[in-house]
Structure 1
Amino acid sequence: MIEPKPKKPVRHLLGLSGGKDSSALAIYLRDKVPEMEYFFADTGAELPETLEFVDVLEDYLGKPIKRLNTGRSFEHYLKLNGNFLPTAKSRWCTSELKIKPFEEYVGSDEAITYVAIRADESHRQGYLSSKTNISARYPFIEDEKNEEDIREILDSSGIGMPKYYEWRSRSGCYFCFFQRKVEWVNLSERYPILFEQARKYEEFHRDQGRTHTWSQGERLDDLVARSGEIKANAEQQEIADAKKPKKRLLESLTQSDRPDDGCLMCIL
């Protein structure tokens, strides 16, 4: 008689974006869920600070963070998508570089994915897999943890906030189309090589007769040409936000020029 194969244990998975919330959740659950598997979907277009922060977090967690997408970068999928740049309405970058690699990593295993949506943003919905073998848990909502708690988790661990928050409101690709205009200006000043690459993508797109631009309604060349105006407007907005009750700089930074909050799987 053939013995049935023993059932595999349920896998516990936590995806890291290099953002503050998923990083804080990893720290928060490190000792509570020792069997946790950590993964990072590297798009090949990450900021240097993001990659550095993931390395620091890996040391703190004391176990490897699985890098997905090895050998399959943004360039690879750009060609597969007819050299059409991703947009807010056509986010093939998220599906190709984040969701599909994750689902391939899970395969047919029973898995629980831990999502870092906070209690103070419980109206938001993270990635929900269509695969029946993958379910989700929201520990920060379950334990009523808000943004103050997340900052405390990061600070008390000694890791602190990712450095890109000094000039940018989110993790994600350096050319993310959800960036505020002032963040594009900051990118051009801090990482001119990356900015130039983003500009080349945009120019190639235009040369194909397409009108889409990375920053809504404005080419990067034109945006940088008025960088002084953009920075002045951003400073005035920060001053106005600071006068509002219980408004912190980080909170004002997270208010995007766009009506969309971005792809949560990329930025949490």
Structure 2
Amino acid sequence: MERHVLGISGGRDSAALAVLMRQSRPDLALEYFFTDTGKELPEVYDFLGRLEGFLGAPIQRLNPDRDFDFWLREYNNFLPSPRTRWCTRQLKLRPFERWIRPDLDAGTTIFSYVAIRSDEPHREGLTATHPNLRVVLPLRERGIDKKGVIDLLDAAGVGLPDYYRWRSRSGCTFCFFQQKIEWVNLMREHPKAFEEAKRYEKTALDHGSPFTWSDRESLDELADPTRVEQIEREHRARLDRLKARQRPNALRPAEPVDEVLFEEDGGGCLICHK
């Protein structure tokens, strides 16, 4: 017995992988899934609907058995952080493992298709911790890079998620990997979500959490108009420096500098952001 599963994060790479597999391996009975934390951007849900229309198949929602608020209490109200990624472990990995574990233990071989591009040598697939789990990297195997991902989505008429206008990552609304300019953008695009993030942060700090959502700065401090102006000024300066360093290449159009800038910092959780 075999199963073939493909995780959709709400981002462009996993969507492009789904498009590729639908076009190149229509014979596979692929199961598409999305681990829904309940704290996703509304643009993510819109994009999932668009992708389902192309695939002609549902994307199964895997919901955690306990929500974000439960796990926040379990972790003594300490916010997740790059050093303590309990959100990924409890709200993303745990539901996936619960979904496939019975079949793995029953002897079914499960092939998990993961969206790692050919231009991401620093990334690795999810480690297969069960002998019946096989991780497959079709984008890397076929030499598909970032431009190839975008080409796949454009050609399929799926396009990109709308949040790429102002943010580089999918995943939770208040992902701690956001850059400061992205927190400013969240404040403007989704003010209610920003206020919710502030409330979580205040509760965490009141309980002694050493972490804030944004490194070494609370969202209250970040939202101060003077600070917002400074963040935007520094962001524009970085864009200008990148533009000045770009060299024209007639064989390959330069990608927008704002995309390069957003990805400069690296990091991120594979299962959330791909």
* TM-score exceeds 0.5: yes
- 1:181 and 1:215 in contact (8 A); partners too: yes
| Aligned residue number for residue 194 of structure 2 | 195
- Separation in 1, partners of 2:210, 2:21: 45
| AA in 1 matched with 2:271 | M
- Classify the secondary structure of the residue corresponding to 1:119: coil
Residue aligned with 2:223, SS: helix
- Asked if 1 retains the 8 angstrom alpha-carbon contact of 2:174 and 2:213, the reply is yes
Once residues 71 and 189 of structure 1 are traced to their aligned partners in structure 2, the CA distance between those partners, rounded to angstroms, is 32
Per mean C-alpha deviation after superposition, the further-off stretch among 43-52 and 101-110 is 101-110
Matched position secondary structure for 1:214: coil
2:113 aligned with 1:114: yes
**3-state DSSP class of the match of 2:23?**
coil
Are 1:50 and 2:44 matched, yes or no? yes
| Residue 254 (structure 1) aligns with | 263
CA distance in 2, matches of 1:211, 1:31: 47
Question: What secondary structure is seen at the aligned counterpart in 2 of 1:26?
Answer: helix
CA contact (8 A) 1:126 1:265 kept: no
Deviations 1:95-126 (A, max 9, x none): 11111111111122320111111001133113
Contact 1:119 1:140 in 2 (8 A): yes
CA distance in 2, matches of 1:52, 1:129: 31
Q: How far apart are the structure 2 equivalents of 1:70 and 1:58?
A: 22
Q: Which moved more, 1:97-106 or 1:31-40?
A: 31-40
| Post-superposition offset of 1:72 | 3.5
| 3-state SS, counterpart of residue 148 of structure 2 | helix
The sequence identity of aligned pairs, in percent, is 42
TM value normalised by structure 2: 0.90
Residue type at the aligned position of 1:58: E
Q: Are residues 1:22 and 2:17 paired?
A: no
Which amino acid letter does the alignment assign opposite residue 235 of structure 2? A
1:67 corresponding residue in structure 2: 61
- Contact in 2 for aligned 1:50/1:171 (Cα 8 Å): yes
Deviation at 1:60, TM superposition (A): 1.2
CA offset at residue 155 of structure 1?
A: 0.6
Specify every segment of 5 or more residues in structure 2 that has no aligned partner in the other structure, as ranges.
Answer: 248-253
Aligned match of 1:181: 180
1:158-169 equivalences under 5 Å are 158-169=157-168
Q: Residue 240 of structure 1 aligns with which residue?
A: 241
Cα deviations by residue, 1:154-188 (Å, 9 ceiling, x for unpaired): 11111111110100011111111100000000011
Match of 2:273 in 1: 267
Shift of 1:13: 0.7
Distance apart, 1:74 and its partner CA: 1.5
C-alpha displacement of 1:247: 5.1
Residues 112 and 135, structure 2, Cα contact 8 Å, conserved in 1: yes
* 2:103 matches 1:102: no
Query: In the alignment, which residue of structure 1 is the partner of 2:24?
Result: 32
Question: How many pairs align?
Answer: 257
The residue identity in structure 1 corresponding to 2:220 is D
Q: Aligned-pair RMSD on alpha carbons?
A: 1.4
Structure 2 CA distance for aligned equivalents of residues 121 and 114 of structure 1: 16
Q: Is the 8 A contact 2:52 2:58 kept in 1?
A: yes
Structure 1 residues 116 and 157: alpha-carbon distance in aligned structure 2, compared to 1, 3 A threshold: same
Match of 1:124 in 2: 123
Note the alpha carbon deviations across 1:176-213, whole angstroms, 9 max, x for none.
Answer: 11000000000111111100010011101111123311
Query: What residue in structure 2 maps to residue 3 of structure 1?
Result: none
Amino acid of the residue matched to residue 11 of structure 1? R
Q: Does the aligned pair in 2 maintain the 1:177–1:215 contact within 8 Å?
A: yes
Gaps of at least 5 residues in structure 1 are: 1-8
Q: Distance in 2 between matches of 1:157 and 1:59?
A: 11
What is the CA–CA distance in structure 2 between the aligned matches of 1:192 and 1:248, rounded to whole Å?
27
